[in-house]
Amino acid sequence: MDSALRQRLEQLHADGVAFDAAQSERLLTRRNLEPASARLLWSLTQVVGARDAVEIGTSNGYSAMWLADALALTGGHLTSVDIEVQPDAERNLAPFTNVSLHAGDGGEYLGRRADASVDLLFLDAERTQYPGWWPHPVRVLRPGGLLVIDNVLSHPGEVAAFLALLAAEPGVRGETIEIGKGLHLAWPAR
């Protein structure tokens, strides 16, 4: 990652923290990924050699910028899905030619994707909706692909039902990483 982008991301994260602190309504906050979690996601994107990545939950585009930079190194593309595309996200992601923004429901989007068509899926949206998207988050992953779920330690009750579905799925392995607000990694066995 070049120093100008790293500096932009540091500023964007600091702005997001200040913005969130001033909000009284949770749904108005940006809820950006923590920098350490973002760095891990950036690294994992390259480790799995992701070429087709999907993010559900764009917000202002902070995590999408990390993903887009990693995907530029793998020759990949990111589709970031949110109920409503925010002007901040469009502005922050404008320099990246390997990103498509999609306005719509994350579950419906995943439901339209072909089997084994996604190399990396990052879920960072309304956690209580994830079980209703089943089985699409696993169905769309290619063998060797990776599912990353944020906020599993900060909001365990909201992700418990989804993590139980993952744990019961034959051939899917997973591990929670104690970084940031908690990332759960899941992958289909090869």
Q: Cα(first)–Cα(last) distance of the chain, in Å?
A: 30
Q: Categorize the per-residue pLDDT at 22 as very low, low, confident or very high, splitting at 50, 70 and 90.
A: confident
The pTM of this model reads: 0.94
Q: Categorize the per-residue pLDDT at 1 as very low, low, confident or very high, splitting at 50, 70 and 90.
A: confident
Q: Categorize the per-residue pLDDT at 14 as very low, low, confident or very high, splitting at 50, 70 and 90.
A: confident
The domain spanning residue 181 has which CATH number?
3.40.50.150
Domain count, the chain: 1
Q: Are strands 99-103 and 172-177 parallel, antiparallel or unpaired?
A: unpaired
Dump pLDDT digits (tens) for 29-75: 677 899 999 999 999 999 999 999 999 999 999 999 999 999 999 99
pLDDT above 70 (res 27): no
Domain containing residue 37: 3-188
Tokens of 36: 């350490």
Tokens of 151: 């906020």
pLDDT above 70 (res 177): yes
The residue length of the chain stands at: 190
Dump pLDDT digits (tens) for 121-172: 999 999 999 999 999 999 999 999 999 999 999 999 999 999 999 999 999 9
pLDDT above 70 (res 28): no
pLDDT above 70 (res 180): yes
What pLDDT is attached to residue 151? 95
Which helix or strand (DSSP H or E) is residue 187 part of? strand 183-188
Q: What three-state secondary structure class fits 166?
A: helix
What pLDDT is attached to residue 187? 96
C-beta separation of 48 from 145 below 8 A: yes
Dump pLDDT digits (tens) for 65-119: 999 999 999 999 999 999 999 999 999 999 999 999 999 999 999 999 999 999 9
What pLDDT is attached to residue 29? 65
pLDDT above 90 (res 189): no
